């Protein structure tokens, strides 16, 4: 099976309804506004500590995919999928509070924007190890198949992650068992500071799909309608029992790897080139051509979004930090269970070794 291509701007104008097109556009705009408030204000004001990863320029990918899913499907985001959380309905206040390390958040103040999840929204947390979620998504898809449920597991990852072993193991398993899994790769051409040609001996991530005998689809990742249509098709295939799809979305990371990184290693011309392909401006031009938005509609949307983003940020800033006693709660080894998990740590011999180590 060879890779297929869905290319730039080829999404048939009639293929996406007016309602869905406007929804895609609104969520992209809201995500950009939130992203700007987070990185360009709160991070720079020193209010967000630690990593602050953003997906500026890549909004079409998580949003196009998540809006193509059914509410029962599950999503495995990574660090660039702010849009997936917003499209799935996580409140903006919760998202701001999460980045700000507040107590009343999915990770209870223990983390910033990485590793967020919310099982009630079908958003499954990831851990830092790249590509580790690929076999886990296969596991979720396996459970759906075993139970006879028509649900889909959709896993996001970067092109750098597809060079990891977990990627091959997970996709291979999903392909053998024809599981309802979708692997969506944001190929933003840089894995931190490593350009694609230094970590992949093939031109496209989709070229890796024939090794699993599954479709490898190349989509213009800055065309939200093309992404949406590719995800819909992959969902239909998964629900029919025909197995996984690998969707490669060609895009560009319009920032550094995270807020602390000025991306000095990326040639300036690449930013200029990709700024002209901005997914939000592109969708706006298309909607105007179709007569679905005009100046007044855009101005109203902008004003409403600025207001809700501002209100969410202010509410989150006023929220409490976690109490120190939270530190050891809900981590891998809960304090009251340490004795069961590491019984040897409680022996006198072990304590003697520890004391010796401290005072040689
Ligand atoms: C196994 C592993 N190696 C290194 C890292 C550090 N790291 C975090 S994100 C990242 C770059 C990932 O690139 P890619 O998969 O292309 O995703 P992108 O950040 O470009 O969206 C690296 C090297 C990690 N988290 N896990």
pLDDT, tens only, 277-300: 999 999 999 999 999 999 999 999
Please give the mean pLDDT across all residues of the chain.
Answer: 91
Annotation marks residue 43 as catalytic: no
- Percent residues over pLDDT 90 in the chain: 80
Note the pLDDT of residue 327: 80
Residue 3, pLDDT above cutoff 60: no
Category of 115 on φ-ψ map: left (φ > 0), alpha (ψ -120 to 50) or beta? left
Annotation marks residue 265 as catalytic: yes
Q: What are phi and psi of 213, to 5 degrees?
A: 55, 40
The residue-averaged pLDDT of 22-41 equals 97
The residue-averaged pLDDT of 171-196 equals 98
Q: How far apart are CA 326 and CA 353, in angstroms?
A: 29
**Best residue for ligand 1 mutational test, from 59, 160, 199 (most atoms within 8 Å of Cβ):** 160
Distance (Å) of CA 31 to CA 12, 27, 108, 271, 335: 25, 6, 23, 20, 38
Residue 7, pLDDT above cutoff 60: no
pLDDT digits (tens, 9 = 90+) for 298-314: 999 999 999 999 999 99
The residue-averaged pLDDT of 130-150 equals 97
- Percent residues over pLDDT 70 in the chain: 88
The distance in angstroms from the start CA to the end CA of the chain is 64
8 — pLDDT class (breaks 50, 70, 90): very low
Pocket of ligand 1 (CB under 6 A): 80, 128-130, 158-161, 186, 188, 190-192, 253
Q: How far apart are CA 41 and CA 31, in angstroms?
A: 15
Which residue's CA lies nearest to atom 10 of ligand 1?
Answer: 192
Atom from ligand 1 closest to the CA of residue 191: 13
Annotation marks residue 257 as catalytic: yes
343 — pLDDT class (breaks 50, 70, 90): low
Residue 178, pLDDT above cutoff 90: yes
Q: For residue 70, what are its two tokens?
A: 């059914």
The residue-averaged pLDDT of 53-64 equals 96
pLDDT digits (tens, 9 = 90+) for 73-85: 999 999 999 999 9
Of 265, 290, 345, 346, which one is the catalytic site residue?
265
pLDDT digits (tens, 9 = 90+) for 322-338: 998 888 777 765 555 55
Residue that is written with structure tokens 């959380």 in the block: 85
């Amino acid at each position: 099976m060879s890779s297929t291509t869905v290319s730039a701007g080829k999404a048939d104008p009639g293929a996406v309804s007016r309602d869905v097109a406007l929804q895609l556009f609104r969520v992209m705009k809201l995500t950009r506004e939130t992203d700007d408030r987070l990185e360009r204000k709160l991070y720079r004001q020193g209010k967000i500590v630690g990593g602050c990863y953003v997906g500026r320029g890549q909004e079409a990918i998580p949003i196009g995919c998540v809006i193509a899913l059914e509410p029962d499907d599950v999503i495995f985001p990574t660090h660039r999928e702010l849009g997936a959380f917003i499209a799935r309905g996580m409140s903006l206040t919760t998202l701001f509070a999460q980045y700000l390390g507040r107590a009343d958040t999915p990770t209870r103040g223990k983390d910033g924007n990485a590793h967020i999840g919310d099982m009630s929204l079908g958003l499954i947390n990831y851990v830092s190890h790249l590509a580790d979620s690929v076999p886990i998504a296969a596991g979720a898809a396996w459970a759906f198949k075993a139970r006879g449920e028509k649900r889909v597991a959709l896993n996001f990852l970067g092109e750098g992650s597809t060079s990891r072993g977990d990627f091959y193991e997970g996709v291979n398993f999903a392909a053998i068992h024809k599981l309802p899994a979708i692997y969506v790769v944001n190929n933003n051409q840089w894995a931190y500071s490593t350009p694609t040609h230094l970590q992949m001996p093939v031109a496209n991530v989709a070229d890796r799909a024939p090794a699993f005998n599954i479709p490898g689809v190349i989509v213009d990742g800055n065309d939200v309608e093309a992404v949406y249509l590719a995800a819909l098709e992959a969902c239909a295939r998964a629900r029919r029992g025909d197995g996984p799809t690998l969707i490669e979305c060609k895009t560009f990371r319009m920032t550094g790897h995270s807020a602390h990184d000025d991306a000095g290693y990326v040639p300036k011309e690449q930013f200029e080139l990709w700024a002209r392909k901005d997914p939000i401006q592109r969708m706006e031009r298309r909607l105007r051509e179709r007569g679905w938005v005009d100046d007044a509609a855009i101005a109203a949307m902008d004003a409403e979004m600025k207001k809700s983003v501002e209100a969410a940020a202010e509410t989150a800033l006023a929220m409490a930090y976690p109490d120190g006693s939270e530190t050891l709660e809900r981590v891998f080894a809960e304090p009251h269970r340490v004795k069961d998990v590491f019984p040897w740590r409680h022996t006198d011999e072990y304590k003697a070794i520890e004391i010796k180590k401290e005072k040689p």
